Structure 1
């Protein structure tokens, strides 16, 4: 009986929000303290909060997504009217912060972990994307919008992980094209510039959906890619492996060898499999195959194609040294 009363109470609140429109959503954001300085702290059901923060919150952390900088924590404030995640197609979208409400729409969807969604109108960061009933559609960061599909999956999965088949894609002339391909995955026959026609027998129409299908697929699952290269079409069998980089972590394919980097290309973590390279946390990647690099895009231009080995130049306290990887 108590659960029924709580459910009816929440239903009434959300219907009331729909009735009163945009101002009620802004007031809910204010009352719930969902935006505090540069963090988002959205109250959810079960006395929990969804946190977006680039630094760990001072709270009991239930789980963490290091790729999208999301945390789920216990809600000590226990806000009575938690936000719901909209599971239906929205009739309209609004960007909401503590001071204003902006009506608009998503004009570019989130493509995987590295390219977040964009809104039709300028929004402050951080802020929330809501529908007219105040249900959550996304969270606005300085890098773009994390869409509800990724938020919902984070909340539902017990352990945070993403799938990877070694490709990053983009939309180009109404075609989904491989933007980069991981040369360190054994047997990876997909190359930069290939057009992805089908994934598991279904026509690929947009890069956003394809990357969700890949990222959300179970580790170890097997899939079929239909690829077009020039005027030739081929079928490739691929296996989903665990994604190691992306989002707020560097994503330069060297993660596959056991090396994790920050955005400044300094080593954050070294797995056991990479200990034999003699590297240390903090070493900075300076060159690949004698080409200077400053950004992730510079790296892809050098490391994107299959080869026997790559020569990497690192710097450690003004001392530079080469490491060969393959």
Structure 2
């Protein structure tokens, strides 16, 4: 005959089972095989990341203690004493400014990549390796436009260099390690993921940053961003003030291109097209009969430039460059700059709704590469602005760069013109891709307007020109 279990014994057995299961849960929660380990990776790549110490001699004023209030008497007083002391041999000693940063060994022969802002203006550069060895370095070249600089150690030819990866293949969500010397703390490793790619933060003309939540702090500039295979995928360069978990790195593909040119030429030589461009908004795409708001809209063509020689016209939308799609106006400058000077490149533009193929031979980008006697005014009904016909005399009086077109003399708040971004002083050169010289030209364009598309205006503002779409009020 089977014995019945007592209620107390049953409770004890159930509790024992519960406790045994509970005891196993922590082990499951911290199962190390489920989480990546970065220890071996950090040990492998950290010798390739160096500390960079710079010294800069800053000339100081011969009268460092003098601080006037800025009035005319103060200026005269300052100039008198400046001449007096300089004439009597007052020493003009410089002060020493020191700074710290990071760098990455990219070649066993001692080539080190860092940020331009880490070494700009430095009179002395010293590299400190993980093993404590210190070596002086010389500047091979630097590129302020991408904030990249290349250094070379003065001795040694067997350094632990990092292999370069492919930042194009890097995916959002991938694990990455950031290595550097934040706040002068050597051999610091932080970990995070790729938060985004192609970020534009206004740091330069070729912004294309990798965003990561791996901690990047002052002193990390020039350090390495590496993938899980230990390959360099970016150079740490920027942080957002008061922004935790937001750091930026220059993609290694851009670093590779710049580095090779610095090593060969000591400077970066970039291709030049010779156009001013602007984004293609939804309204502009509709007005220009485009299927999508993509590409780069040409607002001005530089005279005698490669673009001018190739037949590119104002109002063209560049949609393809050297066999690659032009996503937007930000992409095109990078594509052109990365192309060899003198190369012949096939381009596709959209002109008045039709596709046109052109061939351009790129030039080299330099620092410089960026009725008579009547005053007829009129308020343009439906746009909320007033315009005046330009004459040479009026253009000179207003210090304008053109004497043709209609100058905007006033813009009403909350009007269609104001919403489109038009300003007083803008000069309207074209309406619907036709030149305007008189107020009646603009009024005729309004009469023929397709109100769904809006009125396409070409406007000169300062040194440049831009397209604007204005949709008249109901």
TM-score, normalised via structure 1 length? 0.58
Contact residue 61 and residue 72 of structure 1 kept, 8 A: yes
| Displacement of 1:100 | 4.7
Contact (CA 8 Å) 1:221, 1:239: kept in 2 or not?
A: yes
1:133 is aligned, of 226, 229, 245, to 229
Q: 1:171 to 1:136 in 2, by over 3 A?
A: farther
Matches within 5 A, 1:80-229: 80-87=159-166, 89-90=169-170, 92=174, 93-98=176-181, 99-105=188-194, 107-109=196-198, 113-121=205-213, 123-124=216-217, 126=221, 127-142=223-238, 144-157=248-261, 158-159=264-265, 160-167=268-275, 175-178=294-297, 181=300, 183-186=302-305, 188=308, 190=312, 194-205=316-327, 210-229=332-351
Say if 1:199 and 1:226, in contact at 8 Å, map to a contact too.
Answer: yes
Query: What's 1:265 paired with?
Result: none
Q: CA RMSD for the aligned pairs?
A: 4.1
Are residues 232 and 90 of structure 1, via their aligned partners in 2, closer, same or farther at CA, if it must alter by over 3 Å? closer
**Residue 139 of structure 2 corresponds to residue 61 of structure 1:** yes
User: Which structure 2 segments of 5+ residues have no match?
Assistant: 1-35, 54-98, 125-136, 182-187, 240-247, 282-291, 371-398, 403-423, 426-459, 467-474
Q: 2:191 & 2:312 partners in 1: Cα distance?
A: 42
Q: Which has the higher contact order (CA 8 A, sep 6+)?
A: 1
Computing the radius of gyration from Cα coordinates, the structure with the larger value is 2
Q: Tell me the distance in 2 between the aligned counterparts of 1:94 and 1:174.
A: 37
CA distance in 1, matches of 2:251, 2:39: 20
Query: 1:166 & 1:67 partners in 2: Cα distance?
Result: 18
Seen in structure 2, the aligned counterparts of structure 1 residues 198 and 31 have a Cα distance that, compared at 3 Å, is closer
What's the secondary structure of 1:105's corresponding residue? strand
What is the DSSP-based 3-state SS (H/G/I as helix, E as strand, rest coil) of the residue aligned with 2:50? coil
Q: What displacement does 1:225 show?
A: 1.9
Number of corresponding residues: 243
- Secondary structure of residue in 1 paired with 2:350: strand
Aligned to 1:33, what secondary structure does the other structure show?
strand
- Alpha carbons of 1:86 and 1:171: their partners in 2 closer, same or farther (altered >3 Å)? farther
- Name whichever of 215-224 and 143-152 sits farther off: 143-152
Q: Is 145-154 or 163-172 further displaced after alignment?
A: 163-172
- Given the superposition, is the C-alpha separation of residues 56 and 135 from structure 1 closer, same or farther in structure 2, using an over 3 Å criterion? farther
Task: State the 1:67 CA deviation.
Answer: 2.8
Give the superposition deviation at 1:240.
Answer: 0.9
Q: Is the partner of 1:71 in helix, strand or coil?
A: strand
Instruction: Please give the secondary structure, in 2, of the residue aligned with 1:154.
Output: helix
- Whole-angstrom distance in 2 between the partners of 1:175 and 1:301: 24
Q: Which residue number corresponds to residue 51 of structure 1?
A: 114
